[in-house]
Amino acid sequence: MKEPVRVAITGGAGNISYSLIFRIAAGDMLGPDQPVILQLLEIPPAMDALKGVIMEINDCAFPLVHGISGSDKPEEAFKDADIALLVGSKPRGKGMERSDLLKANGDIFSVQGKALNDNASKDVKVLVVGNPANTNALIAAANAPDLDNKQFTAMMRLDHNRALSQLAQKTDSQVTDIDKMIVWGNHSATQYPDISQATVNGKPALDLVDRDWYENDFIPTVQKRGAAIIEARGASSAASAASAAIDHVRDWVKGSDGIVSMGIPSDGSYGVEEGIMFSYPVICKNGQYEIVQDLEIDEFSRGRMKTTEEELRSEREAVAALL
C-alpha cells in the first residue's frame, strides 16, 4: 500500500467541496491505489456544517480515506499538506464580475499563502479555485516566500473543459477527438479560448467551423459560461468546478494526455508580463508542468491575449498591498 497523500481543502462545507471531497475520497484525483488523508478548513460559523460533511464521508466507508480532520485554523489544515485546494471564498452573484470579489476574498489568500509557507510540505502543489482565481493565486504565492511560485496554480480547467465540450458538440465529435485546445489568460470574461491550434480527429478545427461561429458564438459562450450557469441555477457552478479541479490536479500529479490549460506564473513566454498568473497551454509530466513553446500566434490571437493580460495586470495593481 502506498503512503497516504495529505490533501487540504478549504471551504470544506461549501458547494464545490460537496462534490469535490467525495470524488477525491473515491480515488478520482490521485488514483484507485492512492490513500488520502483529508484535511478540511472552514471558518468558525461553518464548523457545524463541516462536521456534517465529515460524518457523511465517514459513512461512505471509502477504503482510500486513511484519515480526515476539520479545523478552522489554516496552520492545522495545511500541516504537511502535499496538495492544497483553495476553494473557500465568496462566490459571485448575478450581475457581478469575478473581479468584484477581489476585496472580499483577497485577504483570505494572503493569510493562507503564509500558512502554507509555514506549515505545508515544501513540495506542496496548490490549486486556487476561489475567485478571482488567478489573482488570488498570485496573492497566495507572494505570501509564501519559501515556496517556489511554480507551486501555485489557478484553475482554468473548467474553461478548458467548457471549450472542449462546445467544439465537440459543434463538430459532432467527442471531446477525446480534440487535441491542442487552449484557453489563454484570466478566468474571467476576457479569457481567450483559442481553437486556432486545435485539431478534431487530426483536422484543423478552424477548417471545420465558420469564423463567425468561432468569434461570435464559441468565444463569448465559453467566456460567459460561469455567468450563464449562475443565471440558470441561481448559484455558481459547483459539480463542474469540482470535476475540473480533479482534472487539473490529476494531470499535474500523474501527467496530462496532451495539452491542457493551467493558470501559472508567467515566465514571460509569448511576450506576457512576467509574474502574473496567466493561463498557458502546458503539458504535465513527472509531477511538473511545462509551457508549450513556439506555437504560431496570429494577429487575432495576439490581440485577445493582450486584452486578458492587461486585465490581469490591473488586478495585480488593485491588490498591490497584499503582494
Ligand X SMILES: O=C([O-])CC(=O)C(=O)O
Ligand Y SMILES: NC(=O)C1=CN([C@@H]2O[C@H](COP(=O)(O)OP(=O)(O)OC[C@H]3O[C@@H](n4cnc5c(N)ncnc54)[C@H](O)[C@@H]3O)[C@@H](O)[C@H]2O)C=CC1
We find the least distance from the C-beta atom of residue 136 to ligand Y, in angstroms, to be 8
Asked if 43 is part of the footprint of ligand Y (rule: CB under 6 A), the reply reads yes
229 binds, among ligand X, ligand Y, none (CB under 5 to 8 A by kind): ligand X
**Could you say which of 66, 160, 187, 248 is catalytic?**
187
Asked if 157 is part of the footprint of ligand X (rule: CB under 6 A), the reply reads no
Q: In whole angstroms, what is the distance from residue 204 CA to residue 191 CA?
A: 21
Contacting residue, 21, 39, 62, 91, with ligand Y by CB under 6 A: 91
Q: Say whether 15 counts as a known binding-site residue.
A: yes
Asked if 70 is part of the footprint of ligand Y (rule: CB under 6 A), the reply reads no
Among candidate residues 67, 62, 89, 97, the one with its CA nearest the CA of residue 4:
67
Binding residues for ligand X, rule CB under 6 A, total 11
Binding flags for ligand X, 203-232, as an x/- string (CB under 6 A): -----------------------xx-xx--
Asked if 160 is part of the footprint of ligand X (rule: CB under 6 A), the reply reads no
Q: Using CB atoms within 10 A of its CB, is residue 207 exposed (0-12), middle (13-18) or buried (19+)?
A: exposed
Q: Which of residues 272-291 bind ligand Y (CB under 6 A)?
A: none
Q: Which of residues 231-250 bind ligand Y (CB under 6 A)?
A: 236-238, 241
Q: Which is nearer to ligand Y, 46 or 260 (CB)?
A: 46
Binding flags for ligand X, 233-262, as an x/- string (CB under 6 A): ---xx-------------------------
187 as an active site residue: the answer is: yes
46 binds, among ligand X, ligand Y, none (CB under 5 to 8 A by kind): ligand Y
Q: Say whether 201 counts as a known binding-site residue.
A: no
Q: Which of residues 177-196 bind ligand Y (CB under 6 A)?
A: 187
Q: Using CB atoms within 10 A of its CB, is residue 294 exposed (0-12), middle (13-18) or buried (19+)?
A: exposed
Asked if 188 is part of the footprint of ligand X (rule: CB under 6 A), the reply reads no
Asked if 151 is part of the footprint of ligand Y (rule: CB under 6 A), the reply reads no
Asked if 88 is part of the footprint of ligand Y (rule: CB under 6 A), the reply reads yes
Q: Which is nearer to ligand Y, 43 or 216 (CB)?
A: 43
Q: Say whether 12 counts as a known binding-site residue.
A: yes
Q: Catalytic positions, please?
A: 187
Instruction: Using CB under 6 A, list all residues that contact ligand X.
Output: 91-92, 98, 131, 158, 226-227, 229-230, 236-237
